[in-house]
Amino acid sequence: SGIPTRYAPGAVSDLGELLPGKRKGKWLLIKEVNPRAADLYVKYFSPKIVYILRHPAGVANSFYRLGWISSTFEEFGVNYGAIQSQAIDAIEKGWHKIMRYEDLANEPGHRFSELFDDLEIRRPTDYEAIISKYSESDEAGDDPYQILRKSRSQVEKWRVELSPSQIEQVMSGYER
Model confidence at 58, pLDDT cuts 50, 70, 90, reads very high
pLDDT at residue 55 in the model: 96
Model confidence at 22, pLDDT cuts 50, 70, 90, reads low
> Burial code of 34-68, b = ≥16 C-beta within 10 A, e = fewer?
ebeebeebbeeeebebbbbbbbbbbbbbbebeeee
d(CA 65, CA 68): 8
More confident residue, 30 or 81: 81
The verdict on pTM exceeding 0.75 is: yes
Q: Is the pLDDT of residue 8 over 60?
A: no
Query: Residues of the chain with pLDDT > 70: what percent?
Result: 81
| Residues forming beta bridges with residue 136, ordered by sequence position | 150
**Could you read off the pLDDT of 132-146 as tens digits, one per residue?**
888 887 776 667 666
Model confidence at 25, pLDDT cuts 50, 70, 90, reads low
**SS3 state of residue 122:** coil
Q: Mean of the pLDDT values across residues 57-82?
A: 95
Q: Residue 11's CB: how many other CB atoms inside 10 A?
A: 17
